[in-house]
Amino acid sequence: MKATKDMLINDLLKIDRGIAVILMGAGMHCVGCMAAAGESLEEACEVHGLDADDMVKKINEYLENGN
């Protein structure tokens, strides 16, 4: 499965909990907050001043490399 920027944070974490490390490393420490339930990766990146396409690339590289 590939990540997309329209996916909800919680759905990404269901794919692989290791994605939380990537998000937190980028300053997105909200992975456990209530907003993550209904916030897309793109929305979260916007709030944190991050590039959503870059974040998708990092997540997909992580998933492709077998974690």
Residue 3 lies inside a defined structural domain of this protein:
no
Would the CA dihedral through 67, 40, 38, 25 be positive or negative?
positive
Q: pLDDT for 14-46, tens place per residue?
A: 999 999 999 999 988 877 777 777 899 999 999
Does residue 46 or residue 67 have the better pLDDT?
46
Residue 15 lies inside a defined structural domain of this protein:
yes
Domain span at 16:
9-64
Q: Average the pLDDT over 57-66 and give the result.
A: 94
Residue 22 lies inside a defined structural domain of this protein:
yes
The domain total for the chain is 1
Residue 1 lies inside a defined structural domain of this protein:
no
Q: Average the pLDDT over 59-64 and give the result.
A: 96
Tell me, what's the pLDDT at 7?
A: 96
Tell me, what's the pLDDT at 67?
A: 61
Residue 4 lies inside a defined structural domain of this protein:
no
Q: Supply the pTM of this predicted model.
A: 0.89
Residue 2 lies inside a defined structural domain of this protein:
no
Tell me, what's the pLDDT at 37?
A: 73
In the numeric block, which tokens belong to residue 4? 């997309």
Residue 53 lies inside a defined structural domain of this protein:
yes
